[in-house]
Amino acid sequence: MSRKRLPKLPPIEEIREGTYLWSADDKTKKNANITKYMNWLGEEKQLNFKSYEQLWQWSVEEMEDFWQSIYEYFPFDHEEAYESVMSTKQMPKTKWFEGAHANYAEHILKDADLSRIAIYSKSETRTDVVKTWRELTNDVLKLATYLREHGIRKGDRVAGYLPNIYEAVVSLLATASVGAIWTSVSPDFGLESAMARFGQVKPKLIIAVGGYTYKGIQYDRREEVRQMKAQLPSVEGIIFVPYVFAAPKNDYIHLWPEIMNTSPIALEDFQFEQMKFNDQLWILYSSGTTGKPKGMVHTHGGILLEMYKANAFHLDLTYRDTMFFYTTTGWMMFNLLTSSLLMKGAIVLYDGHAAYPDEMKIWDMVQQTKTTVFGSSPAYIQLMRKQNQKPNETYDFGKLKTIVLSGSPASPEVYHWLYDNVKRDMWVTSQSGGTDICSAFVGAIPTEPVRAGEIQVRALGAAVFAYDEMGRRIYDEVGELVVLNPMPSMPLYLWDDSTGARYEASYFSVYPKVWRHGDFIEIIKETGSIIMHGRSDSTLNRGGVRIGTSEIYHAVEANPLIEDSLVVHVDIGDVKSYMPLFIKLKGGAQWTDAATDILKERIQEQYTARHVPDMVYVVNDIPYTLTDKKMEVPVRRILSGEAIEEVANREAMRNPDALVPYVEFYETVIKPMKG
């Protein structure tokens, strides 16, 4: 990539949403996967597009032609007949390529260079594990054969109680190989939280570790595993992965090393279960912080279509890439990371604290593994920024070409920190989608420029728009993120929702026949880029004007004294309203009334008087889910008088005690206001 295109990075105080930061050089654009696909469309379909925006427009207006082109472009069985691309254009009843077959695991394992590295698995618990494609294939087929020999059949559920380690990827792929349905949670989920998920799906087999290590502390999970077996009559056996703790002695325990200590099985000698295109692949879960987790069922064919498109075009991955995303098996990014193996490159797994034993742990691994595509939540990057870390002064990021941000809106300061302290010449991308589709609605394209605080494009095949309260399309202002067309990776159905009522209520209750995702979005008409404004169910509505919380965080967290913050809006009676801002200070920092005045002035200068909180309160911690999302809605409900046990599941939280002070705040501040 040429540095000639790059402007001098402006000072942090001059960064604004939309500030131009980077674009690829002509050679990079020419060699991009999206360019090759557009060339193919011209040659094979006589479809010629002058810009990505034109391509996107075609992909949503002629969606059957678009998804058929994805099917033809990637290595599906093109000789196999199918009835139609789509059974119906009406959500949520769409079935895709009925009559065709596809096995997710087979697609990942076939056609790889067996001598190349497939997986780097790192953790706080054990020494590094590095596996080639040959070793990965052998281990998957050994486990798959074992599953078949022990009665695991198509449609059975196999549950992983596993950290983000090599054995988790093997387990997912082996389960898919035999046609069983995979589901997983991380062992940092306690028994109640794990059972809220596994209790719904009734697994036949659990693959589990005895514990995990986090920030140098070992956590024993053997009793949790024993309780799962006791409380789930469906479970016939447990495969135990020795990890931190040795296996207990029980008849139903099968040891992972014994399964792996068998003769290799050649890929050509193994028969993958022939799955219909719309057969179930895995079950992912919503966060479950405010109610029963939704079990989202995805399909082999639907996920393959979406993952080929997303990894090839929107992340521009090839077999030369090594992708590292800091995640757990309880977050859909684990599934997306595993799916990037479709491109036949390598992935990096890490189980442990991102900043232990020191703040540079993650960046050290990026250098060690020669990672080319690194992914993280903006929350982690904000932490690095607040700590004034400068990884590029210690590490060589010569191989790093892309940063992927996902999980929450990324502020302009996050972009600036990455370009200033990691690498000036790289593609910084932000994505927004969800577990619901295991992908992104809006994301990245390597041929488009990068602007601070903005997401580059709407994803191909994703008919994403912003709606106002009347259901009208709007641009250059904040609206509800809606999707007008079905996508292959939308859930086939929600588990335990036989009538479809919960599915309908979750996505289609606000705008009939239109998917409402629950995010606030702003689409910039001139550039086609997108600004995310946070969850719409945590909307701040002051004087009839809707405000995205991300705007306030943008201003607040630029303050050098503030480590983190959370803002909510509470209605008090019919006419009163109150918008408190809660801040967590950096260690040793002191807060004063003068500091509050300065902060309020900054917010009003950057936005409007409506954005200014009524008061600023210092708290010890900001509550987060296990997937690093601020818990704005539960806090708002607590401040509306609801009981803490009704608004949040402690086991779905990263720091459950952080909610307690908000109960006291309700009693001492909000309740007296009600009179």
Residue 573 pLDDT = 62
Mean pLDDT of 374-395: 90
Residue 541 pLDDT = 63
Give me the percent of the chain exceeding a pLDDT of 90.
72
N-terminal to C-terminal alpha carbon distance within the chain = 64
Residue 290: pLDDT band by 50, 70, 90 thresholds?
low
Residue 206 pLDDT = 97
Q: Does 544 score more than 60 pLDDT? A: no
- E strand or H helix that includes residue 636: helix 632-639
**Beta-bridge mates of residue 206:** 159, 238
Any alpha helices (H) in 46-165, and if so which ranges?
A: 52-61, 63-73, 104-109, 133-149
- Across the chain, mean pLDDT equals 92
Domains of the chain: 1-21+354-430 (3.40.50.980), 102-353 (3.40.50.12780), 539-674 (3.30.300.30)
d(CA 72, CA 652): 41
- Which 8-state DSSP code applies to residue 350? E
Q: Does 606 score more than 80 pLDDT? A: no
The DSSP secondary structure of 282-343, one letter per residue, reads: EEEE---SSSSPPEEEEEHHHHHHHHHHIIIIIS---TT-EEEE---TTSHHHHHHHHGGGG
Residue 575 pLDDT = 52
Q: Hey, is 28 helix, strand or coil?
A: helix
Half-sphere exposure of 305 (CA within 13 A, CB side): 32
Rg, C-alpha atoms of the chain: 24
Could you tell me the CA-to-CA distances from 298 to 234, 293, 305 in Å, in that order?
22, 15, 12
Residue 546: pLDDT band by 50, 70, 90 thresholds?
low
Query: Letter for the amino acid at 565?
Result: S
As given in the structure block, the two tokens for residue 234 are 């469906």
Contact 465, 523 (CB under 8 A): yes
* Span 93-132, pLDDT tens digits: 899 999 999 999 999 999 999 999 999 999 999 999 999 9
Mean pLDDT of 574-588: 83
* Span 355-373, pLDDT tens digits: 899 889 999 999 999 999 9
Mean pLDDT of 433-448: 95
As given in the structure block, the two tokens for residue 334 are 């684990």
Residue 636: pLDDT band by 50, 70, 90 thresholds?
confident
Buried b or exposed e, range 257-280, using 16+ CB within 10 angstroms: eebeeeeebebeebebbebbbbbb
Burial class (CB in 10 A: 0-12, 13-18, 19+), 293: buried
Residues 6+ apart with CB under 8 A from 558: 413, 602
Q: Does 289 score more than 70 pLDDT? A: no
CA–chain centroid gap for 118, Å, is 21
Query: Letter for the amino acid at 572?
Result: I
- For residues 372, 373, 377, 379, the Cα torsion angle rounded to the nearest 10 degrees is 30
The DSSP secondary structure of 408-442, one letter per residue, reads: SPPPHHHHHHHHHHT-SSSEEEE-EEETTTTEEEE
Residue 2 pLDDT = 42
**Nearest in space to 626 (alpha carbons), one of 312, 271, 289:** 289
Residue 610: pLDDT band by 50, 70, 90 thresholds?
confident
* Span 217-263, pLDDT tens digits: 999 999 999 999 999 999 999 999 999 998 887 777 899 999 999 99
Q: Hey, is 383 helix, strand or coil?
A: helix
Q: Cis omega (within 30 of 0) on the bond before 409? A: no
The DSSP secondary structure of 650-675, one letter per residue, reads: GGGBSSGGGGHHHHHHIIIIIHHHH-
d(CA 460, CA 309): 8
Could you tell me the CA-to-CA distances from 1 to 15, 396, 425, 427 in Å, in that order?
23, 16, 7, 10
d(CA 574, CA 607): 27
Contact 180, 158 (CB under 8 A): yes
